[in-house]
Chain A
Amino acid sequence: MIEQLLFYTFAILTCGGAVAVVATQNVVRMAFWLVVSLGSVAALFFLLHADFLGAAQLLIYVGGTVVLLVFGVMLTASGPYTTIKTAPAEGIIGAAVGLMLLMVLVSSIGSVDWGAISGRLPSSPQSPFTADSIREAHADEAIVNSGSTKVKTDLAAIQQQGRTVRQLGLSFLGLRPDRNLKEGGANGLAPGYFLPFEIVSVHLLVVLIGAAYLARAKRRAVSEDRVSLD
């Protein structure tokens, strides 16, 4: 009940923020509605039991990317052509095409039986979250029944520890404890994500160097010109 209420609240905030990003013409207000929409998406991640992913969404998107976009707005909002508006005809055509695309997507989502398809997926360590949560719930009950304050602090520590963080970290190191150990390796060794992790980290480094190179102020040529003029 409370989960449904939270879901509908944040789903309406997400969709309304996205529609408001499309509808407003002011860039700063677009950035604000983008913050609303992305923050609500982070709340949806928390509702989907993806705690680390929701935190990463808040930190990287809302705290990093949107701030970067706002700085871009600040740096480009002066000059002779500051008011950039979409023509009304283009807006109407875009809204019509978008509505048609939305209808196509919604009808195709509704016409697929997702339960049958997920039954056809190869491996079935059904949701490490459910298995772990059941086991941890039993452990918690045992700890609570045994009493004593030290054990209760241990219980608090267990409850504060994220449930997906350790598994995500191990899968980035190339280990998949949720697949390999629990099933006894019956499905063969599930590959981890060590190589994609390395690739994406080198990619991030290269991209940041390239962005700093592209966005640098080209003062050297001007100063050399001034020196030559002097």
Chain B
Amino acid sequence: MGDVGLNAYLMVGAVLFVCGVVCMATKRNGIGVLMGVELVLNGANVNFVAFSRYTSLGLDGQTIALFVIVLAAAEAAVALAIALNFYNNHLTIDVDRGNELQG
């Protein structure tokens, strides 16, 4: 039985989550921040599917992972539209330059 076990998949999900959070926090490019969001959502998806395989969660984990994929696609579309608007106004996509609203 070459079964990998639940913990290994959870470790992969944790690594994806941490990479996404660090990517969101340190990138100054707006598109890079969006890629960090995608990594975080994928880490959550790996956890959902691993739980649906190895526990009695059944099909619920896969269904919720599908909803997460659809919502991530929607989020990417809207965030990219906002990034294009930001670029039209500032001629850059550096998120550090979007500081007009600060107190």
Contact = CB atoms under 8 A, between A and B. Distances in A.
Interface of A: 1-4, 7, 11, 14-15, 18-19, 21-22, 27, 30-31, 34, 37-38, 41, 44-45, 47-50, 52-53, 56-57, 60-61, 64-65, 68-69, 71-73, 75-76, 79-81, 84-86, 90-91, 94-95, 97-98, 101-102, 105-106, 109-110, 114, 117-119, 121, 123-129, 164, 167-168, 171-172, 176, 178-179, 193, 196, 200, 203-204, 207-208, 210-212, 214-215, 218
Contacts of A76: 30-31, 83-84, 87, 92-93
Interface size bracket, B side: 35 or more
B23 A22 contact: yes
B100 to A, nearest CB: 16
Interface centre among A86, A176, A214, by most chain B C-beta atoms within 10 angstroms, is A214
Interface of B: 2-4, 6-12, 14-23, 25-32, 34-36, 38-39, 42, 45-46, 49-50, 52-59, 62-63, 65-67, 69-78, 80-85, 87-88, 91-94, 97
Contact of A27 (B6, B29, B54, B85): B29
